[in-house]
Chain A
Amino acid sequence: MRIRLRRRPLRIETPRFRLRTMTRRQVARASFHWTTDEAVMHAIQTKAGGWLLRRWRRRFPRCDNRASFCFGIWTRSDDQFVGYHIIQLQRGKVAFIGIVIGDTNWWGKGAAAETRSALVDYLFEAKGVDRVWGTPFARNFPSVYNYQRLNFTYEGTLRRHARSDFAQGADVLVFALLREEWLASRKTLKSSGASQ
């Protein structure tokens, strides 16, 4: 018999948001309405429209809250679901991260920086990670901005590395942050408002 370990959701709070772990099914359902939004889908190099919930769900990793996490983002003021972070813990104390802010009302308002800042804290402090990295699409300027805003270091470009519905493979940038870099920059970031 296969026993499934059910883990209690993890919760993190920031000044404006609540983050809570979700299952793959939950995040797929909560975000499914974004699949018809051209702007959101274009940002992740995917065509809008024509999605089935089952197919959409397959895009998400199975989240066991041990090595693989999906943190949903809700506003504290009115409990609106605005996006999600995906985190995958890898060998060698490394965490791979990704984010989608699907509620376009929150674009340009620091939601990604504020919540990512809290998650990076969680990864370095609670999970004992030494390196956090992510690979935004090169043409996804807001996503690139959010890595730069938190002082991630650009490590290189992976050419035509990612699947794209609009091109023959999309270039992605590699950004990473080491524990000591985070500790050194955290104070500055807090005073400049990136982590609110």
Chain B
Amino acid sequence: MSDKRLAAVEMIAGALGCAPSDVPPDGTVATVPGWDSLGHVKILLTLETELGRLLTPGEIAAIRGVMDIDRILASADAARETSSIIAPPGRA
């Protein structure tokens, strides 16, 4: 399991108030216990806090499971790394 996947699992577990072991890495809205409509709200709001921005409509529509959140976290990390590379010295 990648670190980011682990981060996604921990984030979901934290939002749902369950143990990370209850969230399978390939879990989806249909299989993760407690991932109901209100749980979905908690997960998406937690993710927005983590990212420091609102999710785009496309991202909102794409989140159906742990892997989708993992993907969003990974691309946010990649974007952060890219911006730190291209930022001028002292402003990274």
Contacts and interface: CB of A to CB of B under 8 A. Distances in A.
A51 interface: no
B37 A157 contact: no
Interface stretch (B6-14, B54-62, B71-79, B84-92): B54-62
A139 B54 CA distance: 10
A104 to B, nearest CB: 10
B38 A138 contact: no
A149 B63 CA distance: 11
Interface string B12-53: 000000000000000001110000111111001100000000
Contacts of A110: 36
B61 A149 contact: no
Size category of the A interface is 20 to 34
Nearest to B34: A108
A54 to B, nearest CB: 32
A157 B58 contact: yes
Contact of B57 (A109, A138, A188, A189): A138
A141 B40 contact: yes
Nearest to A175: B61
Contact of A141 (B58, B60, B62): B60
A139 B55 CA distance: 9
B61 A144 contact: yes
Contact of B41 (A142, A159, A188): A142
B80 interface: no
16 contacts: A108-B38, A108-B39, A112-B37, A138-B60, A141-B40, A141-B60, A142-B41, A143-B37, A144-B40, A144-B60, A144-B61, A148-B29, A148-B61, A148-B64, A149-B30, A194-B30
